[in-house]
Structure 1
Amino acid sequence: MSQTVVSAELLEKLRRAYTAWHDTRGTSDDTWIALMADDIEMRSIADGAPGMEFSVPRKGKDTIRGYFSGLRADWEMIHYTFDEFVVDGNRVVVFGRCAYRNRKTGKAAESAIVNRWRFHNDLAVEFFEFYDTAKAFAAAVPDPA
């Protein structure tokens, strides 16, 4: 079975998508959607747990918009920076840092972030994000009164 190799052009599109995500403070949904196959599978390490409901597993490009709108409803991006892209065949792993402020509690969480992508025919078919869920959950919980 042959696998698609990530081209320099696709890698540049991915870099531009990350730049737009940071520059727009998380409102560049269409840039991400354009990189995705119709049947993409999207997962997050938080897996939809209470306080991080937006992170439920999603399948299909049409469901991804719910991730973005849910994220923005509960969290305000402070920054999202990337440091390194590692390409291996049809996979790209992106290493960086991000910080978000929870809109309900006002608390911020900053974390290293790792995004793992798999591509086929120059479209993303899998995405998985890893970050410090302990910090995110702590920011989502209100302080005791």
Structure 2
Amino acid sequence: MLGSPCAKGPGRGQDGRMLDETLSYALIKVVKTQRNRMAAALAPLGLHVGQEMLLNQLWKEDGLTQGELIARLGVEPPTVTKTLQRLERTGFVYRVPDPDRPRVSRVQLTDAGKALREPVEEIWTTMDQDLLRGFEPGERDLLAQLIRRAMP
């Protein structure tokens, strides 16, 4: 059973559980499955997993700087650089110089980038519904609350 200690032995952690009996293992399996499903759902839109996260920040506030995107997404600068380059190549965003800071550029959504909002939000809603199918509403809320509490 997930989370319950077992006898110590080969292949067991310090608490006696096998690796695949840990909560971390179960969470990683769920995340991998969701990531694969998300990749398949986003591909027809011309997006890779993670790009929709950056677009989401721009849907909330268009014209952010690369530094602001890095801070809001909590990722490394090279990740945002590569993501922006791909999104520019596909015509979803473009950069404009910041009038007050010559060395800074602001990222703007194109009409094509703005048009992705509704289909991406539909994908995320469907993913949530599929993931939580079989859970009671109270269980869904509790699961979300517990996962958020565990986040660093």
Report if TM-score (shorter chain) is over 0.5. Answer: no
More RCO (CA 8 Å, sep 6+) = 1
TM-score by length of 1: 0.23
More helix by share: 2
Larger Rg: 2
More strand by share: 1
